[in-house]
Amino acid sequence: MRWRRPGRRAADPGVVAPVLDELAGQAVAGAHRAIARLITLVEDERADVNAEVAAALTPHAGRARVIGLTGPPGVGKSTTTSALITALRAAGHRVGVLAIDPSSPFSGGALLGDRIRMTEHAVDDGVFIRSMATRGQLGGLAVATPQAVRVLDAAGFDVVLVETVGVGQSEVDVVRLADTTVVLLAPGMGDGIQAAKAGVLEIADVFVVNKADRDGAEVTVRDLEQMIAMSRRGIRGPSWRQPVVRTVAADGSGITDMLGALDRHASWLLDTGELERRRARRAAEEIQAIALRGLRAELGRLSGGDRLEELAREVAVGRTDSYAAAARLVDLLKRA
């Protein structure tokens, strides 16, 4: 495994298609260095490079199970991810992990410490772990994450885990687009969980109550079960009922149950045709995010000259308003 902080190496300005094809070929063959390099290129968000990478890798992608993991801070996401990796490896799967860094300037500290625990997989060639830090603004994560998943998928990892710290909506949106989304909770988190129930129920396919040996675990499980039962009123016919799994990730308890729940969900996805629907939905959201990103870049180029500055000054002194100014910018873009 190669564990690397993002952003160390910027994309070469002179990257050209033949080099990308070579890198893509090496990544598809499973070379960790090529995989790492491709993800760095992807993070750099150059549209032309990303288009080449997608074109080269899409024919090799679509085979991996994509599992999203999220939950509030303090529930033990990194420990659970690490235990899950161990279990998946024991079952013979190659595992790629994307750890989405929070974009808040206030939450940079804790994460690094958490990540370091994952070094237990550092000598395992069947595991590739990568932190991704994009600013998460205006769709950055929405574009970079599916592309990074595509790199790992095309590189032949059987399972791609996408873990987020779950602090912001954009991070949650990212895991929501997995084939299977796991929401981790822990006992004793009080009102936060109560308030979060509606939102959490929407995105979860599997609930995991970690630290299940602690006081209050049964209350958390019962609350979740009640919430799930309530949400299912009025549903007819077969549908997925979200299981609630108890784990103590620190000593590995319950991880086999978690793996079982994930496998049952994978079978359900296949059997019902839901997998295809989810992947089409994921593709639709990705296409829109890419298109928007491109339009944003065009807008930035248009605005790069004096035109935006001039409009902004007019707004600042009240000579025009910002909506009228924006309409003029959009007109310029369409005429360009």
Span near its own copies by CB under 8 A; candidates 26-34, 227-235, 247-255, 276-284 = 276-284
Task: Please give the residues from 190 up to 249 whose contact with its own copies meets the rule CB under 8 A.
Answer: 190-196, 198-200, 202-203
User: Would you say 79 or 164 has its CB closer to its own copies?
Assistant: 164
Is residue 288 close enough to count as binding its own copies by CB under 8 A?
yes
Is residue 272 close enough to count as binding its own copies by CB under 8 A?
no
Nearest distance from C-beta of residue 136 to its own copies, angstroms: 5
Is residue 297 close enough to count as binding its own copies by CB under 8 A?
no
C-alpha 52/C-alpha 72 separation (Å) is 36
Is residue 145 close enough to count as binding its own copies by CB under 8 A?
no
Burial (Cβ within 10 Å: 0-12, 13-18, ≥19) of residue 301: exposed
Is residue 334 close enough to count as binding its own copies by CB under 8 A?
yes
Is residue 181 close enough to count as binding its own copies by CB under 8 A?
no
Span near its own copies by CB under 8 A; candidates 25-33, 37-45, 266-274, 295-303 = 295-303
Among 68, 72, 96, 187, binds its own copies (CB under 8 A): 72
C-alpha triplet 25, 97, 138: angle, nearest 5°: 90
C-alpha 115/C-alpha 50 separation (Å) is 27
Element (H, E) at 202: helix 191-203
Is residue 320 close enough to count as binding its own copies by CB under 8 A?
yes
Q: What residues does 165 pair with on adjacent strands?
A: none
C-alpha triplet 297, 287, 275: angle, nearest 5°: 155
Burial (Cβ within 10 Å: 0-12, 13-18, ≥19) of residue 242: buried
Is residue 313 close enough to count as binding its own copies by CB under 8 A?
yes
Is residue 122 close enough to count as binding its own copies by CB under 8 A?
no
Nearest distance from C-beta of residue 165 to its own copies, angstroms: 10
User: Would you say 11 or 325 has its CB closer to its own copies?
Assistant: 325
Reading the block at residue 326, the tokens are 């924006």
Is residue 43 close enough to count as binding its own copies by CB under 8 A?
no
Asked if 2 and 38 count as a contact pair (C-beta separation under 8 A), the reply is: no
